[in-house]
Amino acid sequence: MAGHRGPVSAGARAACLVGVGETRYTKWGGIDDASEYQLAVRAVLAALDDAGLSVDDVDGLASFAEDRNEATFMAADLGLPELRYASLSWLPGGGGACAAVANAAMAVEQGAAEVVVVYRSLCQGQFRRFGRGPGNAPGRAGPPRVPHLRRAASLLEAHVSFTMPFGMFSPPIAYAMVMRRHMHRFGTTAEHMGHVAVTTRRHAARNPRAVMGGRPMTMDDYLAARMVSEPFRLLDCCLENDGACAVVVTTAARAADTAKAPVALLAGAQGAPRGFGHGQYANVGMPDDDYASAGAAGVAARLWARAGLGPADVDVAQIYDHFTGLVLLSLEDFGFCARGEGGPMAASGALAWPDGALPTNTHGGSLSEAYIHGLNHVVEGVRQLRGESTCQVAGAETCLVTSAAGVPTSALVLGRR
């Protein structure tokens, strides 16, 4: 296995990523001729086509976080010969994209399935904003005039009852508070966050799939954007859009017959620190060092140990970017810089393709390509290691992919085989 530097999963059943695909990405409401579910189906078929495989080869499906497009229906509607593996990661929101791929990898390595497709479809034009919380979301009809203590429909609804009545009912508000704490402790600035926005927008300009590809952004544009929830401006926040993508996972033995060069899954890791709960979205009571962080330090330690690699070995990174500032926190948690140094690292130009020390979000990320809960970051990782990116890092052999900071999360190290 030339180029496989990781110590784990060697052998014929070692997990490989062999196909990627997506629908077109548009601003929300831009896709009105197909349902969100139909887009998921199209993405699965596109990824299989990319791999040179067909539905008849598929025996597993995986997704994450409250997916509306159940694998059971997908299996029947696509006509899978037999469903042998189906999983949904518990990791909430965008925390589970890498975990869904890692779970698929575990399934093929263990022999539970041969070909597992991981998919995500997100049509916000059809279903509105993700992350509004459960049934406690602001009612269209309004609450009764004399409110009473209602019975919560879920643990999450009971938990966010300690946040939503206070107007903390959207991720930008919750994570603005995390960034304010980080600024207070470490002196992180708006310009630090702006470097993430401007750099990834520049990457998106080269990517024909990117929703914001034709919309250049300067630091002045960034600083002039309206405030959403201080310190987050509009351009600190990821897109809201329509689209779907998918990734095909199979064994090294099976990958020998696929259409394109397989990409090795060198390591995956997932989880959350003690007391982290659902993350800062629903919990402000965790230790200070965890609150002002991505909550991913443990995930990072396990990831690097399993891969037999460290931050210095990474050629290119796709870091979940629901908010600019949380990219800085992920850089810290994954060891690319010291705690509190994420802002200065971004300002140094480290994230820029092609000359930065760690070209990051070379597709444009969720800020500028599309917000598909970070599964599109896995897609871009595969393209980098095949040499297919529109911001190709020359000779890239390793790519870090992370999922959402600020919720229980997951990450992958991908490698060129």
Residue 79 near another protein by CB under 8 A: no
Q: Does 180 contact another protein by CB under 8 A?
A: yes
The full DSSP string for 78-95 is HT-S---EEEEE-S-GGG
Is residue 138 near another protein by the rule CB under 8 A?
yes
Q: Is 170 in the site for another protein (CB under 8 A)?
A: yes
Stretch that binds another protein, among 188-196, 279-287, 303-311, 330-338 (CB under 8 A): 279-287
> What length is written for the chain?
417
Stretch that binds another protein, among 174-182, 188-196, 304-312, 379-387 (CB under 8 A): 174-182
**In angstroms, what is the minimal distance from the CB of 226 to another protein?**
7
Binding of another protein at residue 56 (CB under 8 A)? no
From residue 153, alpha-carbon distances to 91, 93, 144, 158 in Å are 19, 19, 17, 8
DSSP state of 246: E
* Number of residues engaging another protein in binding (CB under 8 A): 50
* CA 388 to centroid of chain Cα atoms: 20
Measured at the alpha carbon of residue 378, what is the angle toward residues 183 and 85, in degrees to the nearest 5?
Answer: 120
State both tokens at 42. Answer: 């199209």
CA angle, residues 294, 232, 167, in degrees to nearest 5: 90
Q: Which residue among the candidates 25, 119, 291, 371 is catalytic per the annotation?
A: 371
Closer to another protein by Cβ: residue 138 or 387: 138
Report which residue type is found at 262: P
| Closer by beta carbon to another protein, 167 or else 395 | 167
Active site residue 222: no
Residue 145 engages another protein in binding (rule: CB under 8 A): yes
**Is the bond leading into 143 cis (omega within 30 degrees of zero)?**
no
**Contacts with another protein, 284-303, as mask; x by CB under 8 A:** xx-----x------------
Contact map string, positions 116 to 135, toward another protein, x by CB under 8 A: -------------------x
Q: Is 214 in the site for another protein (CB under 8 A)?
A: no
Among 142, 208, 214, 395, binds another protein (CB under 8 A): 142
Minimum CB distance to another protein smaller for 176 or for 345: 176
89 contacts another protein (rule: CB under 8 A): no
Shortest Cβ 242–another protein spacing (Å): 20
Residue 99: which of 320, 337, 386 has the closest Cα?
A: 320
225 binding another protein? (CB under 8 A):
no
**Prior bond of 231 cis (ω within 30°):** yes
DSSP 66: S
From the CB of 325, what's the least distance to another protein, in Å?
Answer: 12
What are the residues facing 269 on neighbouring strands? Answer: 411
Report which secondary-structure segment, H or E, holds 195: helix 190-204
The residues in 150-169 that bind another protein, with binding defined as CB under 8 A, are 150-153, 155, 157-159, 161-169
Nearest to 368 by CA among 222, 230, 257, 248: 222
**Burial tier of 282 (Cβ tally within 10 Å: 0-12, 13-18, 19+):** buried
Does 320 participate in catalysis according to the annotation? yes
The answer to whether 197 and 235 are in contact (CB under 8 A) is yes
Query: Annotated active-site positions, please?
Result: 320, 371
Kindly list the residues in this chain that would bind another protein in the complex (CB under 8 A): 135-139, 142-143, 145-153, 155, 157-159, 161-170, 172-173, 176-178, 180-181, 184, 226-232, 275, 283-285, 291
